[in-house]
Amino acid sequence: MSESSSLRAIAQAFRLTGWISFWIQLVLGVVSGGILLFAVFSQRSGNTSNNPGTGFGAFFAVAGLIALGVGIYLAFRYTQLGNRLESSNPNNRPRKVETVQVVRFAVMVHLVGMLLTLLGAQATVGILLTKSLTLPQVGTGVYTQIDPSRIIQSLDIFVVQANTNTVSAHFAGLVASIWLLQRISKPQS
């Protein structure tokens, strides 16, 4: 395979992978963001009682979404790198070192984003487990005397869903970045 056809194949891989990764992350990120906004505004508007499930977990979920925003930008940047790699002017092409740095940075962003989001999910699931374990058994007739903040609410599940979507988006970005890193690090034949 000649150097120009190899470069064209890498450029095409960057564009295609960048767009696929961009759209997957964007859709999952928008869904997660919408769910979290709903959860936060429902909490603040007084529609629910004091709900610790949306506090600590939501904070880390938002931090994971911020990292996802950076990941979405980097996925778009892959498409731009792909375009630049096919430039007829060699001076417009990014150096291999620069391209590898962008991909490695994306891997780190997605790993940190996954960590933050998983911390949020663990906090929320821990609170849900505590709530479920402290509820009296069915048939004891004491549900009317229970503090509403001890009951598992749909809002708690929304935060778990948002975290799951965000982790999935980071995973998609991580897979795309690792695949591109492997693609550009492969020795040329």
- Cα–Cα distance for residue pair 87/83, rounded to 1 Å: 7
Q: Would you state the pLDDT for residue 50? A: 55
pLDDT at 68: 97
* pTM (predicted TM-score): 0.84
The answer to whether 57 and 159 have CB atoms below 8 angstroms apart is: yes
> What is the tens place of the pLDDT at every residue in 39-83?
777 766 655 455 555 577 888 989 999 999 999 999 999 999 999
CA distances from 135 to 53, 56, 76, 145, 155 (A): 15, 21, 47, 11, 17
Please report the pLDDT score of residue 70 as a whole number: 97
Neighbours of 157 (CB within 10 A): 15
| Segments making up each domain of the chain, as ranges | 3-134+148-185
What pLDDT, on a 0 to 100 scale, did the predictor assign at position 185?
Answer: 85
Question: Average pLDDT for residues 77-93, to the nearest whole number?
Answer: 90
pLDDT on residue 91 = 86
- Over 70: is that where the pLDDT of 160 sits? yes
Helix spans in 55-153 (H): 56-85, 96-134
